[in-house]
Amino acid sequence: KVQAEIDRVIGQSQQPSTADREHMPYTNAVIHEVQRMANILPMNVPRVVTFDTTVAGYYLPKGTMVLTNLTSLHKDPAQWTTPDTFNPEHFLENGEFKKRESFLPFSI
């Protein structure tokens, strides 16, 4: 499907450009699903809280180091219909690419 979409949108005689991306929803969905499944930064990069705050009922004082577990986010069955299966449809809605709030491949 990806090859067919590339052939249809870009063809054989030109180089791909970023402008092509919006016309290639399936290819875009496959790339996002690869990033979701591969999860190259499962525990993310440490961050530091910049001001006193409360998250989900937990008080976090300024200066607290936090780590986001992206694996739990990217494999959450409440967010993904088939969390343990490669499924580009996670990023498609009516054949169009749809960005997901629960997708953070490179951190927050």
* Per-residue pLDDT at 33 exceeds 90: yes
Parse the chain into domains and list their residue ranges: 2-97
Q: What is the mean pLDDT of residues 30-53?
A: 90
DSSP-derived secondary structure letter, 66: E
Rounded CA separation 54/22 (Å): 38
Q: What is the pLDDT of residues 43-101, one digit of tens each?
A: 778 899 999 999 999 999 999 999 888 888 899 999 999 999 999 999 999 999 999 99
Q: pTM for this one?
A: 0.83
- The DSSP H or E segment spanning 53 is strand 53-55
Q: Which of 3, 56, 55, 59 is nearest to 26 (CA)?
A: 3
Task: State CA 58 to chain mean position distance.
Answer: 26
